[in-house]
Structure 1
Amino acid sequence: MLLGYYMHDFSPFVIRFTESVKIHWYGLAYVLGFYLTYRVMRFLAQKGLSEIKPEAVGDFITMVAVFGLVLGGRLGYMLLYSFDQFIHAPWIVFMVWQGGMAAHGGIAGVTLFCGWYAWKHKISWAGIGDSIVCGAPLGVFLGRIANFINGELFGRVTTSQWAVKFPTELTHQDFVEQGGSMALYNQIHDLGLQHSPDIIAYFEKFRGGRAELEEILHPRYPSQLYEALGEGLLLSAVLIFIRLRFPRLRQGIVTGMFFIFYASARIALEFVRQPDSGSSLIMGLTKGQFFSTFMYLVGGIFIAYGLIWGKSPPGPGAVAEPKAKA
């Protein structure tokens, strides 16, 4: 006999000092992601596998975090998933504290920033990419773990033994589409309940407690954890292995592999992830799958560049000093 499904009950806050001053798991994930990417890039630079000197990696990561990942991720989210809201109030793109980040936008932002950085310092764009793509998936890993803790971006309904019941389902249109009460869905929205502990507390205080809540929730894939492994931890491990195992691999090839491997993992795992409320399919694909298909083209271009024009990394003791543009 199977045990009951686990009901998600994590708080999105690491610690709350006051109602307005709190540390979010998602914010902590970003900070740790930047740090781990810094450590990986510095390690590769010390091995002579990067044109950025080890002591310059810290400044580079700081700039790419702000101007590439955060702004790119936020702008990508507004353009790809919340375009109507962006058109009516474009300034909200800077309101990053309100949430809403897109992985595809972050990747595009980082790619463009690396291009600018390479041009400014007269070093290889593809070479920078080969280093940053080895560490960046660790940030994706931590971000997906934070998604799970927040109870967001959960999976489709399933009867699998390892399914999870997310109270935050009551804030998602799919709850109604699965036969849930429209009145309850509207009530949860009207009360502004967004997190699992708050929804559980509401049921314990005003309704039939956890038993009633568990009864109306649907077991779902913990797709955030699948994505954390496939798009994050495993991808980073594979790319680091390739980088170290083939140190003379031409610049651009590892970057191209990242785009292709990430797109493949994202497209596959989207089949168990519940699409965002109100999202429509594009040519039979979810938005995440559709936008990922373009990454195959980008990856192919980087690999072709590496095979035709790419140079091998400088090697130990030959790391170039970034040059400021006159």
Structure 2
Amino acid sequence: MLVHPQFDPIAIHLGPLAIRWYGLMYLIGFASFILLGRYRIKHNPQGVFTRAMLDDMLFYGVLGVILGGRLGHVLFYQFGYYLQHPLEILAVWQGGMSFHGGFLGVISAMALLARKYKLPWLAVTDFIAPLVPLGLGAGRIGNFINAELWGRPTDVSWGMIFPNVDNLPRHPSQLYEFALEGLAFFALIWIYSANPRPVAAVSGMFLIGYGVFRSVAEFFREPEDGFMGVMTLGISMGQWLSLPMVVAGIIMITWAYRTQPILPQRPAWSDKPAKPVTAGKRNRS
């Protein structure tokens, strides 16, 4: 049986400044966003996106992740606790971020960015979708280091005791989520987006992929106590929030392939010169 090592939540001390592992994981996520975004821009030069726009995407996205993720955690999972301790809402370094809240924050931020650059909103979300999963995976490693969001009791040989919780062996569900929502999800969306797709298709696949992987991982994760964090009809809050994502993703992909053109070359809303369509690729009108 394994025992969680109870890491020091502070990774580096720089005099009076303490850098926490949780914050470092966010920095890793943001760095992966920039590196992958630059790769996509470099290998798709006929596209409309530039490095300057990518920097703006990161700035808008960081605001959406932090504000939306924190507020989502407060409202969806521990509303009662934070109602009694409102100042702790600001203590983001202690953990407690909701993906679904952060997701709503990011798509709202991308809507503002799309308006700024006069681009289709779904074209922007299609571009950033493959850049997100590795950041999600880094966040799950942060959860594991913080010994939070632990799994349900289990008798499997790799069960792990979290001394900060109890002496029961539990699923290391943070690592399951790292493998599913981080690595597997990244492989799915990166490969899917590598070929020309109609506008909104990649965003739709993002919704489906995350919703499915998160729902699977939730079967091994201990539901959080607090407002709407308990099990309902045998389904956790995370699964309830993922279900509409899957449904919306299916609708988006169906709509995209029925109504939107496949764009292997310059989009109609780009002012860059078009490149010829290579063999095996086609436009769809």
Q: Give the one of 177, 184, 187 matched to 1:227.
A: 177
How is 1:153-302 mapped onto 2 (pairs within 5 angstroms)? 153-170=149-166, 217-244=167-194, 246=195, 248-278=196-226, 279-302=229-252
- SS of the residue corresponding to residue 169 of structure 2 reads coil
User: Hey, what's the Cα distance between the residues in 2 that align with 1:89 and 1:5?
Assistant: 34
User: Hey, what's the Cα distance between the residues in 1 that align with 2:271 and 2:157?
Assistant: 54
Equivalent position of 1:141 in the other structure:
137
Shift of residue 87, structure 1, vs aligned partner = 5.2
User: Hey, what's the Cα distance between the residues in 2 that align with 1:226 and 1:73?
Assistant: 21
Shift of residue 103, structure 1, vs aligned partner = 0.7
User: Hey, what's the Cα distance between the residues in 1 that align with 2:239 and 2:174?
Assistant: 15
Equivalent position of 2:24 in the other structure:
28
Confirm or deny that 1:104 pairs with 2:52. Answer: no
- SS of the residue corresponding to residue 16 of structure 1 reads strand
User: Hey, what's the Cα distance between the residues in 2 that align with 1:273 and 1:158?
Assistant: 11
Asked whether the equivalents of residues 60 and 110 of structure 2 are also in contact (C-alpha less than 8 Å), the reply is no
Q: Give the one of 45, 59, 62 matched to 1:62.
A: 59
Shift of residue 92, structure 1, vs aligned partner = 5.7
- SS of the residue corresponding to residue 12 of structure 2 reads strand
Structure with the bigger RCO (C-alpha within 8 Å, sep 6+) is: 1
Asked whether the equivalents of residues 76 and 105 of structure 1 are also in contact (C-alpha less than 8 Å), the reply is yes
Shift in alpha-carbon separation, 1:321–1:25, aligned structure 2, 3 A: farther
Instruction: Tell me the TM-score normalised to structure 2 length.
Output: 0.85
Once the two structures are superposed, what CA deviation does each residue of 1:293-318 show, in whole Å capped at 9, x if it has no partner?
Answer: 11123213432342244344463799
Asked whether the equivalents of residues 8 and 165 of structure 1 are also in contact (C-alpha less than 8 Å), the reply is no
User: Hey, what's the Cα distance between the residues in 2 that align with 1:321 and 1:56?
Assistant: 15
Confirm or deny that 1:53 pairs with 2:50. Answer: yes
Q: Give the one of 76, 81, 90 matched to 2:77.
A: 81
- SS of the residue corresponding to residue 165 of structure 2 reads helix
Asked whether the equivalents of residues 8 and 164 of structure 1 are also in contact (C-alpha less than 8 Å), the reply is no
User: Hey, what's the Cα distance between the residues in 2 that align with 1:30 and 1:69?
Assistant: 10
Instruction: Tell me the TM-score normalised to structure 1 length.
Output: 0.75
The one-letter amino acid paired with 1:254 is: V
User: Hey, what's the Cα distance between the residues in 2 that align with 1:145 and 1:319?
Assistant: 39
Q: Give unpaired runs (5+ residues) of structure 1.
A: 171-216
User: Hey, what's the Cα distance between the residues in 2 that align with 1:160 and 1:89?
Assistant: 37
Asked whether the equivalents of residues 36 and 139 of structure 1 are also in contact (C-alpha less than 8 Å), the reply is yes
Confirm or deny that 1:11 pairs with 2:2. Answer: no
- SS of the residue corresponding to residue 118 of structure 1 reads helix
The one-letter amino acid paired with 1:30 is: Y
CA RMSD of the aligned region, Å?
2.6
Shift of residue 119, structure 1, vs aligned partner = 2.2
Shift of residue 54, structure 1, vs aligned partner = 3.0
Q: Give unpaired runs (5+ residues) of structure 2.
A: 273-285
Shift of residue 250, structure 1, vs aligned partner = 0.7
User: Hey, what's the Cα distance between the residues in 2 that align with 1:218 and 1:98?
Assistant: 24
Structure ranking higher in helix proportion: 1
User: Hey, what's the Cα distance between the residues in 2 that align with 1:273 and 1:104?
Assistant: 16
Aligned-pair identity (%)? 35
Equivalent position of 1:113 in the other structure:
109
The one-letter amino acid paired with 1:307 is: Y
Shift in alpha-carbon separation, 1:309–1:113, aligned structure 2, 3 A: farther
Once the two structures are superposed, what CA deviation does each residue of 1:218-244 show, in whole Å capped at 9, x if it has no partner?
Answer: 111111011001011111112111211
User: Hey, what's the Cα distance between the residues in 1 that align with 2:78 and 2:222?
Assistant: 17
- SS of the residue corresponding to residue 70 of structure 2 reads helix
User: Hey, what's the Cα distance between the residues in 2 that align with 1:7 and 1:99?
Assistant: 17
Shift of residue 58, structure 1, vs aligned partner = 1.6
